[in-house]
């Protein structure tokens, strides 16, 4: 009997932890120098150059990657998809086999504050999400997107 493939529900937490670590380095401000160097090396930076950088330079390099990290940040209007009554902002990280994204649902009374945030892992005819609203990294990402005007630009 062939072994069944893991479902999106089986894979969503591991995928989130990997993405969260990247976001932590770019937005959290609390990543260690070791974490920053590992992240930047994974993003293609020269390891020798990274060894010679101080904390401020590492933080700046990680912040500079923000604009290149995701594929897009956009608003998805209500009812764009079947059974999707609420609009949300999508920070898309990857598409197809699998797709990953953060969905931000702002409060109706104050777009600055989040009602909820979800991390989605999507693969052919399957998908799973976890709620990440209270995660400090998610809050830092949302605050940055809001403060830089990305939220109002997409609404």
Model confidence over 66-89: pLDDT tens digits?
A: 888 999 999 999 999 988 899 999
Q: How many CB atoms lie within 10 A of CB 107?
A: 11
Cα angle for residues 143, 147, 150 (degrees, 5° grid): 95
| pTM beyond 0.85, yes or no | yes
> What is the rounded average pLDDT for all residues in the chain?
91
- pLDDT (0 to 100) of residue 107: 83
Please say if the pLDDT value at position 1 is more than 80.
no
- Rounded to whole angstroms, the Cα distance separating 45 from 117 reads 31
pLDDT in tens, 24-64: 999 977 899 999 999 999 999 999 999 999 999 999 999 99
The SS3 call for residue 16 is helix
Sequence-distant contacts of 132-136: CB under 8 A, at least 24 apart: 132/16, 132/20, 132/102, 135/20, 136/28
Domain boundaries, the chain: 8-154
The C-alpha atoms of residue 137 and residue 18 are separated, in whole angstroms, by 13
């Amino acid at each position: 009997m062939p072994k069944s493939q893991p479902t999106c529900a089986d894979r969503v937490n591991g995928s989130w932890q990997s993405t969260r670590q990247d976001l932590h380095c770019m937005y959290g401000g609390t990543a260690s120098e070791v974490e920053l160097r590992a992240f930047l090396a994974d993003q293609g930076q020269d390891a020798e150059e990274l060894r010679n950088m101080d904390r401020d330079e590492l933080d700046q390099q990680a912040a500079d990657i923000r604009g290149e990290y995701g594929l897009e940040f956009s608003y998805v209007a209500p009812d764009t998809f079947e059974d999707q009554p609420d609009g949300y902002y999508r920070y898309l990280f990857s598409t197809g086999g699998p797709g990953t994204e953060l969905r931000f649902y702002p409060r109706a009374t104050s777009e600055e504050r989040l009602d909820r945030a979800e991390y989605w892992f999507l693969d052919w005819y399957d998908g799973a999400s976890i709620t990440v609203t209270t995660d400090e990294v998610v809050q830092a990402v949302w605050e940055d997107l809001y403060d830089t005007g990305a939220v109002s630009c997409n609404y």
